[in-house]
Amino acid sequence: MKAKDNTSKTGKAVLVLEDGSTFVAHGFGATKKVSGEIVFSTSMVGYPESLTDPSYKGQILTFTYPLVGNYGIPPYDLEKGVLKYFESDDIKVTGFVIHELCRQPYHWASTRTLDEWLKNEDVPGIFGIDTRKLTKKLRVKGVMLGILEVCEEGEEPDLEKLLKEVETVQDPNFTDLAKQVTVKEPVRYEAGGNKLAVVIDCGVKYGILRNLLRRGFDVVRVPYDFSAEQILDLKPDGVMISNGPGDPKQCVKTVEAVRELLDKDMPMMGVCLGTQILALAVGGDTYKLKYGHRSQNQPALDLETGRCYITTQNHGYTVQRDSIKDTGLEEWFMNANDKTVEGVKHKSKPAFALQWHPEASPGPYDTEFLFDRFRKVAGG
């Protein structure tokens, strides 16, 4: 189905980085000014899933792939009460940076253009810049803070003013970003199964919920600051520690709850931020990567079998390898590129965690078997 391009035009747009770099091009989506941490993804597809991934909260996302928007935006269909084609209910990125914007998408499931969607969700975007040049800057210096402004048609951005403003932009990682994306009250999803999984929602991707439901788990999604006692009152067969945005050390109550659940030998699986939280719960440490892992082709090497899996990832922090010695955790997977920790498992308790997203969405499905492993440790 060919979507009609009826989006009102926007004016110029500018992206300003904390190092003084400026990129002036064309705006799309909402006409507004935002600030955040500028990050990049080398993914070639999956912009609806990426833009709705809560792990991008507080970030201005750059896609290195040149053409974006060519298959439009899918409908809000549901699968067992969960959105089928998106990873949350709305766009979570602060802003979007691309090289070329497709204004006339062609796909049987397209319901509107990327431009229309961003405008409806009040999210600004910029297109027409050299995203490879921007990415090279981020790879050399590391992720940077910045400002993205989309002007009304006919207006000009005030570069001198923006260059002064960018000097005082607050780092979103110093705030409790998980608090901004977690549910406020428990939400239940029914699969009609005989097992219950509690998901500690630090910014859970809906792909995780869909995978649990497909495996016969009924799911209760709880706020990230739920106590171990509140979680145990639900009588779960297993607990999922979800992905989420920002610095894991901001999730103090989550770490405390996971520590107590470990003491109770609760079967647990962590994804992305959940890996870092599990490590912190046993006394380990985490640190921020220079520019993070955000792509669909990250190689995760199984240290037991020697097999390498191609995975989809979105994280800026990881576990400090030496810090988990003598904690009960052992390294299970390692990134074949930069040798960082990609997965851990407990030596004596039914708990494990992966730094990547086994649910894909978007990306490869090679490691969905890890949800089957969670089902097994949760009692079958």
Q: Known catalytic residue: 293? A: no
The predicted model gives 292-301 an average pLDDT of: 97
Cα(309)–Cα(356) distance, integer angstroms: 10
- Residue of 116, 251, 272, 346 marked active site: 272
Average pLDDT along the chain: 96
Cα(204)–Cα(216) distance, integer angstroms: 18
What is 177-377's CATH superfamily? Answer: Class I glutamine amidotransferase (GATase) domain (3.40.50.880)
Sequence-ordered list of residues with C-beta below 8 angstroms from that of 231, at least 6 positions apart, any chain: 198, 200, 222, 239, 257, 261
CATH number of 12-173: 3.50.30.20
CB 60 within 8 A of CB 71: no
Give ∠ CA 195-199-205 in degrees, rounded to 5: 120
User: Each residue of 308-348: pLDDT tens digit?
Assistant: 999 999 999 999 999 999 999 999 999 999 999 999 999 99
Q: Known catalytic residue: 107? A: no
What count of other Cβ atoms lies within 10 Å of the Cβ of residue 103? 15
Domain locations along the chain: 12-173, 177-377
Q: Band of the pLDDT at 2, cuts 50, 70, 90?
A: very low
Of 1 and 305, the one with more pLDDT: 305
- C-alpha count within 13 angstroms, C-beta hemisphere, residue 41: 30
Residue 180 phi, psi (nearest 5): -80, -15
Q: Known catalytic residue: 165? A: no
What count of other Cβ atoms lies within 10 Å of the Cβ of residue 62? 24
What's the confidence (pLDDT) of residue 3?
A: 41
**Structure tokens given for 187:** 């939400």
CB 309 within 8 A of CB 366: yes
CB 33 within 8 A of CB 125: no
Q: pTM for the whole thing?
A: 0.95
User: Each residue of 179-217: pLDDT tens digit?
Assistant: 999 999 999 999 998 999 999 999 999 999 999 999 999
